[in-house]
Amino acid sequence: MSNIALPLEMLDGIMDQLDHTQTHGIWAWDIEAREMVLVILAVLAMLGDNPMQSELGCPIEQFMSPVWRIKGLNPHQDTPVEVLHVILLGFMKYFWHDAISRLTDTQKAELQVRLALFNVSGLGIPPLAGQTLVQYAGSLTGHDFCAISQAALFVLYDLVPCECFEAFLALSSLVPLVWQPSIVNIEEHLVHVTLSFL
């Protein structure tokens, strides 16, 4: 591994080894069976942060990216979306920063009070630090944006343009749907996710 080479450059070298392993396998000793076994690798998913996922699955770089050589892997389907970076530190962060930048000083002061007084008793989170969430809108954490996603509708309703509020309405509907550790009924869940965008 290198601390200078880019991840895709390093992946290119790994791909030769992976291809060889997928074709010929690796002989290994199975301690329980007490015999040699042939191990064939299968790549089921590629994990990465949001910028890396974009780079891995980018159609423009399909001919250059070594990820397209992995047998049985579709980078568009097999790179799970990470809610923290895509939703909270992605959409929510930029929408929040945009909303705050549209406010006058008087509106910002009003928003700080609304956030500080927002009843969080049913949310399992500590009281909101209104001044911090407004003053440092561009430097908040995923935890902050998780709280903002739950409070935004109730504190921004008359402070931002209708289009901006509607974007928060959609995002606030989407966050709890994508923040699921497991989905019992995928068909029903997909209907709810689709409706949250309408």
Measured distance CA(71)–CA(145) in Å, rounded: 38
User: What's residue 82's pLDDT?
Assistant: 67
Q: What's the rounded Cα separation, in Å, for the pair 7 and 115?
A: 41
| Nearest residue to 97 (alpha-carbon basis) of 138, 135, 132 | 138
CA 41 remoteness from chain centre: 27
CB-count burial class (<10 Å; 0-12, 13-18, 19+) for 38: exposed
Query: Which residue pairs, CB below 8 angstroms and at least 24 apart, start in 91-96?
Result: 91/171, 92/145, 92/148, 92/149, 92/171, 92/175, 93/138, 93/140, 93/145, 95/164, 95/167, 95/168, 95/171, 96/137, 96/140, 96/145, 96/148, 96/152
Residue 132 confidence (pLDDT)? 96
pLDDT at 5: 75
Question: How many of the other CB atoms lie within 10 Å of CB of 137?
Answer: 20
**pLDDT for 126:** 92
This prediction has a pTM of: 0.60
Residue 131 confidence (pLDDT): 96
- Please, what are the averages of pLDDT over each run of 10 residues along the chain (198 residues)? 70 84 93 94 72 59 70 74 74 92 96 96 91 94 90 94 92 81 82 77
In this prediction, residue 57 carries a pLDDT of 57
